[in-house]
Structure 1
């Protein structure tokens, strides 16, 4: 008797009817992006009139797929290369610093090994609009506290017949709070927490069924060691939970519980140009793909 070869389609047919399946069914549609990741220093308020232009590059490999804490058999791999174009403008409204901004993701997803049958896709992701309002802004002590609403518009490339998509075909809303303070002259603490609410996707999968999702939450923390005013080393941890899905009226039992860590550095190579690099990976995954490697690069220009 020949051993069973677990292709992407075999695995989807087997698990998508077993109640823990949306971990696969959703993961084959998009890489999980349920939370609002921040970089250390993002919640620093800048003077009104300041503009930022940023370009991100994110490369991630996912080497395992989990459902209810159990690793799927076979070699499940999904790689992504994603860029993000981001523009930010700082202004003052009613005595508070506010920064209306946009983020436009674009890139490529590719299934490999036992997921190679999924092929690849490339294009533009969903447009993100946001604006932080700083309720605490004390640059003299390095203390900041801000609240940011995010709106995700379903403008990205989406085809319900494709297993891989950059767009999600649904609206999303996230609310995040971020806090920065100095613990000493050389050490800063960054904390952030957010909740994401999901609209429904009424064209999910080949059958165009309705997919709904419960809110998810994420908490993030970073420590930065400032080697100089222009250069820092940083380490962070984040935990995401919630986000259970319902597909065609059936609860999937696929609640998220993912913990990841990262290390990196930020360096102002000129007063108006910063380079940022970080490396991270998931250390615990209950449902969905596990990222075994993630490289983030960012170029920031102040003008």
Structure 2
């Protein structure tokens, strides 16, 4: 095996921007949210043309914080967002003897904005458009094979459609396209280039009462063929991922979302054997104005008055 067969061991072939149910449901103007994520992932590598070629596994943990605020700009709701976090991973199994088996540090920082041309809570219908820039601010050591950061700029655009079905069901579809800058310090002084990749994520969730819901989802990924020092290296990936999860509304301002994920198939890269994700959402509302809004974060249909004290009165 050549050294190149090990490179980018941590590259997960999935959507660049991980999307959960409810992400494209617009909060009322003036509201803010802070979301804390914890991901535990076990990956198996590496796969080439659908067959596993190397016998290693990577166990990793991610802690991520996302904050955003919703503004009213003309007839549109607009939400700038910031995402930052840290990760640590460890390798088990076959691995080059002269390369470290663990790495940890800060992840690349994400700056983005979402706007909603359609935000119709009465009809339970939303259309959101997102543009995101990912800056190479994360920890990166070009002499090693696993790193929290990627040492390259990335741009992502997304479109999310949410539609209520009858009284208890909601369908969500999110498309993504990503573009990648060049990493000029890849496994030493090599240059790594990657073609654009695409992803399609879907969720179907059912309201089970009291603001709680259960959901099933799936994701398709394709594209992202790569070049090393200007020469074709790895073909693009094509994988399928399954999601199962639930949302619990602890209070009008606190939500918990738990999700399990697993790759059903993969063509090239590391296969996600297991992912366990937990996210905690804290909602903050406009304290100056009294507004009425439907808070339709997954499974919830809470009509509320937001008072100066910030309390919600159903």
State TM-score, norm by structure 1: 0.90
* Matched positions, count: 282
Alignment partner for residue 219 of structure 1, among 191, 197, 200? Answer: 200
Structure having the higher strand fraction is 2
Residue 108 (structure 1) aligned to one of 57, 78, 88? 88
Where has structure 1 moved over 6 Å in runs of 4 or more?
none
Could you tell me which runs of 5 or more consecutive residues in structure 2 were left unpaired when the two chains were aligned. Answer: 285-314
Give the equivalent residue in structure 2 for 1:168: 150
The SS at the match of 1:100 is: strand
Within the candidate set 53, 64, 69, 2:34 is matched to: 53
Q: CA deviation at 1:70?
A: 1.7
Tell me, yes or no, if the aligned pair for 2:14 and 2:221 is still in contact at 8 Å: no
CA contact (8 A) 1:204 1:210 kept: yes
Q: What are structure 1's unaligned runs of at least 5 residues?
A: 1-10
Is residue 83 from structure 1 mapped to residue 83 from structure 2 by the alignment? no
1:122 aligned onto 2:104: yes
Q: Is the 8 A contact 1:156 1:167 kept in 2?
A: yes
Q: Encode CA deviations 1:253-293: one digit per residue, 9 max, x unaligned.
A: 32111110010001111000000000010001000011110
Distance of 2:123 and 2:46 partners within structure 1: 44
CA distance, structure 2, for counterparts of residue 89 and residue 175 of structure 1: 19
In the alignment, what sits opposite 1:180? 162
In the aligned structure 2, how far is the partner of 1:223 from the partner of 1:33?
19
- Distance (whole Å) between structure 2 residues aligned to residue 141 and residue 76 of structure 1: 49
Cα deviation, 1:166-211, whole Å, max 9, x if unaligned, reads 01111000000001001110000000001000011111112x1211
Distance 1:195 1:54 in 2: 24
- Displacement of 1:34 in angstroms is 5.1
| Contact persistence 2:12–2:272 (CA under 8 A) | no
Which secondary structure state, in structure 1, belongs to the residue aligned with residue 8 of structure 2? helix
- Give a deviation string over 1:14-38, Cα, whole Å, max 9, x none: xx3xxxx4xx42225x444652221
Partner SS, residue 265 of structure 1: strand
TM-score (norm 2): 0.87
Judging by fraction of residues, say which structure has more helix.
Answer: 1
